[in-house]
Amino acid sequence: MLRIFFLELLGWSTVATAFLGVYVAHYGAPLESVPAHLRVALLPLLALAAIRLAMARIVPAKWARMVIAALAAWLIGGLLAYYALVLIGLEAWGRVISWDLITSYAGQLPMLADALGLSLAACVAGVVGAYLAIAVLLRLYLRSHDWADMLARRLSPAMLGCVAGAAALVLAIEIYRIATDAGGAIGEPVSLTLRPLEGARDLQGHAVDALRARALDAAEDHERARYVPARSARRRNVILIVVDALRADHMGLFGYSRDTTPHLSALARSDALVGAVELHATCASSFCGLLSIASSRFVHQFSERPITLQEALKRYGYRVHLLLSGDHTTYYGLKHVYGNVDSYIDGHDGRASSYINDDALLLDRLAAFPAWDGVPVMVQLHLMSAHPLGKREASMAKYTPAASYLVQHGEPNERATNYYDNGVLQADATIDDALTLLKAKGYLQDAVVAITADHGEALGEHGLFQHANSAHEEVLRVPFVLLAYGGERGGRLSKPRFASQVDIAPTLLRELAMPAPATWKGTALQDAAPRDFIAFQERWDIGLYDLRDEVTIWKYWLNSKTREEFVFELNRDPGEQFNRVSTAPSELRREWRRRVLSEQTVTSKRRVSQDIDLD
């Protein structure tokens, strides 16, 4: 009997241990998360044991085994499904999936399956079939390996009740501990699922230690106290449109062979255009990309209380409205960063009536806006049309055959490229619809419109699809289009040799004749001021662009997990096909290495500095 019990315990633990091996070795979770999660993972087994003991003397053995087999199959399937979701979350966007996100998509399975190009009926049939198979195998196993039935025969009913009660009491205590304990601080995945904001930045590899965070926060608070709005400011409306996963090189506006942006291209030929340039994102994921746009900071300079573009405009009496497709509340944890705004809606708020990633939600909200009353406003839109999870309209399927690339690996292919380009085409149409609505309500009488992206998208280059999985150019190059309607204009955008996402907020304030906060790290693109370095980071890949040479643009990054180094000469090798790490000047490599390790995140620095000789 004891042998059977311990074999079950070992089998259950093996599943959790296999997951933890990947969680720690591949995704860099702290070792402290291993015992913490094993303790949590054993709770379903403890619950099952308590139920088995409670049923042993009450329900006939035949029926008890059927119930236990059905329940155990549900628990095993649930555990495996949870582990799969955690790994998908870590692989796709660098974070443990939150409970709110699970419930959000669980209520929208038909729309999610449609967005992924999957048959919901086939998926349900597969899940049900797998469940029944596990239940049947467990039923056969329990015929000759039911330790609870063996124990019930040896104990009196009173003693058996005490054992079952003790197991239930331990289970209740452990559940209470999980509900109240800050296990997320050490990376335990279940705690992070229940309390996602506890470890969001650490698990993305975009963390700073507590001392540095406090110093950055103090500098921000000092600037808040001394910042004085300019009396000569031009308080024009600001419309900021961020298209998730939008690549500049797949836009007709930027020379792409396909006319994927007919509306934007038409605007670029009009008098409204102030400038259209390519920028480089600070990372390849939404969390830090959106935060860099809002706070004009590189990843290693993030603080908990940044002065954002939204906050700066509030100083000038602006009303701020955020209309965001996608679930920024739980998926990115950015809602608190945006601060005190006048109205906020994202896919989390509208999920009961529409798909989380449906941009139609934003158009419906804009249609309900009142006519502009003359008070300056900032309206920020976040579009998901180009994102692989965004809802696609059949009317926008111009390029065929097309299929979602969400689960693809390997080389570029026509179906994936067509699917993405259709998304860009839909984003362009959505932008046109949004601007038409804003114009009809008077918001474009005197306005600045900025269109950009939080990051790019991989379409098979370097064997990768999606984003948040590398530091290659396809996931870092993003567009920036600045338009102006009515009112007094600032200067046109210069054609910078190289610019960054952190330059967006200062550029907008320059157009409005407003000084940028001193803590911002970007520069206004109306200036042609050169810079020496631009930083970037994506999880373990931490790097920089060296712009000091008038001819050569060097790109360097270091993988803090594998200790590999990558060097590309972008002006000669824009596709990053040839790693020049062995032929680049050694003195430059040493300088890049020192700079990256000194400026990037503390977590990554510790992981690397032990293994790489800085000299």
Give the list of residues 6+ apart from residue 16 with CB closer than 8 angstroms, or none: 37, 38, 41, 42, 79
- At residue 175's C-alpha, the angle toward residues 171 and 180, to 5°, is 150
pLDDT of amino acid 94: 62
Is 84 inside a domain boundary?
A: yes
71 and 195 both lie in a single domain = yes
Is 164 inside a domain boundary?
A: yes
pLDDT of amino acid 604: 41
pLDDT of amino acid 1: 66
Query: What is this structure's pTM?
Result: 0.81
271 and 359 both lie in a single domain = yes
| Domain end residue (candidates: 160, 184, 203) | 203
Of 294, 304, 89, 102, nearest to 204 by C-alpha is 89
Is 600 inside a domain boundary?
A: yes
Distance, CA of 453 to CA of 281 (rounded, Å):
8
253 and 180 both lie in a single domain = no
The CATH number of residue 463's host domain is: 3.40.720.10
Q: Is 255 exposed, middle or buried (0-12, 13-18, 19+ CB in 10 A)?
A: exposed
446 and 346 both lie in a single domain = yes
pLDDT of amino acid 398: 96
462 and 570 both lie in a single domain = no
Is 215 inside a domain boundary?
A: no
| Domain end residue (candidates: 527, 556, 580) | 527
Give the count of domains, the chain. Answer: 3
- At residue 148's C-alpha, the angle toward residues 143 and 151, to 5°, is 115
479 and 575 both lie in a single domain = no
| Single-letter residue type at 87 | L
Distance, CA of 321 to CA of 382 (rounded, Å):
12
546 and 519 both lie in a single domain = no
| Domain end residue (candidates: 497, 527, 557) | 527
Is 217 inside a domain boundary?
A: no
| Single-letter residue type at 308 | T
429 and 567 both lie in a single domain = no
Is 400 inside a domain boundary?
A: yes
Is 532 inside a domain boundary?
A: no
pLDDT mean for each 10 residues of the chain (615 residues): 73 87 83 87 81 75 84 90 87 72 76 75 90 89 74 69 75 73 67 65 46 76 94 96 98 97 96 95 92 92 88 96 87 74 83 78 94 97 95 94 89 96 98 98 97 97 92 97 89 85 97 96 88 90 93 92 91 95 93 80 40 43
Residue 565: which domain range?
542-609
Is 213 inside a domain boundary?
A: no
408 and 513 both lie in a single domain = yes
523 and 558 both lie in a single domain = no
Do 376 and 318 touch, CB atoms closer than 8 A?
yes
500 and 552 both lie in a single domain = no
262 and 386 both lie in a single domain = yes
